[in-house]
């Protein structure tokens, strides 16, 4: 569905991604994991064309992304960055309408089909009764779901999400990732999501791509990728990986120094 082949990309003379190759399967959730600065966000930005690719190719269904017009790309790929903002005056309904811009004709705005999609997107994220509310008046969890609704309303085959549970407490982390999982299972979306927590990746992803220093160290289904060996190679961290109640669990082996008694 989506593939990067031997991609070198970055922001200056020193590339962040160095000959990186990764493939993302249709209708599955793939988690990008790795230490800070390893190239997770850069890969998403390279796919979207926000970071120049100096070598290699990124393709969607065997078609080079760099040859697509921005409007065409927006009809096939949607992107949720780490930080999303909107003007204080903007309502949730107005925010969602922006998502259909790539489909609008020069002569008009949203069609009835667009409006039906907007309503459906809000219903999927549980905000159908909040369209009249200002986005910045919503709670943190509601705002994140609002921006996910905007991505949904763009109605693309592929959704890229950069740390969608960043700054959320554990309740909303699970709520948002459960929603992302549902988008794949029930709505057939192909989702690539950057996550820091290996346990969240193991719980909600189908596949994992593990990065270090701009290269892929391991890639494949969760069970064969999140292992004690690969975690040590990627994070320089000793862990115990085991299955509990059908779920893969990653437990870091941290040795705390005992505090001397006063």
pLDDT for residue 106: 53
pLDDT for residue 136: 87
Query: What pTM does this model have?
Result: 0.87
- What is the rounded CA–CA span in Å between residue 56 and residue 46? 11
Domain ranges of the chain: 1-76+158-225, 86-155
**Residue 78 contacts by C-beta under 8 Å, 6 or more apart in sequence?**
99, 151, 154, 156, 158, 159, 160
Q: How far is CA 82 from CA 21, 115, 124, 130, 221, in A?
A: 23, 27, 21, 23, 25
pLDDT for residue 29: 96
Q: How many CA atoms lie within 13 A of 200 on its CB side?
A: 24
Looking at domain 1-76+158-225, its CATH class is alpha beta
Pairing of strands 247-252, 239-244: antiparallel
pLDDT for residue 262: 47
Residue-by-residue DSSP string for 173-226? HHHHHHHHHHHHHHH--EEEEE-S-HHHHHHH-SEEEEEETTEEEEEEEHHHHS
pLDDT for residue 128: 86
pLDDT for residue 259: 52
Q: Read off φ and ψ for residue 87, nearest 5 degrees.
A: -60, 150
Closest residue by Cα to residue 215 from 43, 90, 62: 43
Residue by residue, pLDDT tens for the chain (262 residues) are: 899 999 999 887 789 999 999 999 999 999 999 999 999 999 999 999 899 999 999 999 888 988 888 888 888 899 999 887 888 788 998 888 887 776 665 556 777 777 888 888 888 888 889 889 998 888 888 888 888 888 888 888 899 999 988 878 888 888 889 988 988 998 889 999 999 999 999 999 999 999 999 999 999 999 999 999 999 999 999 999 999 988 899 999 877 665 555 4
């Amino acid at each position: 569905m989506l593939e990067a082949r031997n991609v070198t990309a970055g922001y200056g003379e020193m590339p962040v991604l160095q000959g990186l190759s990764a493939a993302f399967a249709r209708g599955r959730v793939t988690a990008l994991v790795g230490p800070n600065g390893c190239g997770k966000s850069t890969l998403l930005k390279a796919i979207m064309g926000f970071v120049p690719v100096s070598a290699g190719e990124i393709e969607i269904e065997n078609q080079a992304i760099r040859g697509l017009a921005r409007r065409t790309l927006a009809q096939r790929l949607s992107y949720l960055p780490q930080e999303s903002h909107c003007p204080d005056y903007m309502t949730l309904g107005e925010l969602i309408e922006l998502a259909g811009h790539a489909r609008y004709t020069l002569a008009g705005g949203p069609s009835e089909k667009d409006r039906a999609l907007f309503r459906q997107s809000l219903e999927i994220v549980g905000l159908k009764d909040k369209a009249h509310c200002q986005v910045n008046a919503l709670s943190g969890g509601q705002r994140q779901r609002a921006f996910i609704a905007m991505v949904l309303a763009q109605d693309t085959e592929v959704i890229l999400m950069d740390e969608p549970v960043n700054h959320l407490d554990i309740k909303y982390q699970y709520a948002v990732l459960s929603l992302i999982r549902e988008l794949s299972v029930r709505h057939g979306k192909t989702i690539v999501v950057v996550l820091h927590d290996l346990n969240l990746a193991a719980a909600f992803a189908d596949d994992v791509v593990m990065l270090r220093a701009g290269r892929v160290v391991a890639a494949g289904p969760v069970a064969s990728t999140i292992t004690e060996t690969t975690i040590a190679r990627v994070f320089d961290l000793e862990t115990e990986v085991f299955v509990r109640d059908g779920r893969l669990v990653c437990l870091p082996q941290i040795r705390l120094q005992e505090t001397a008694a006063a």
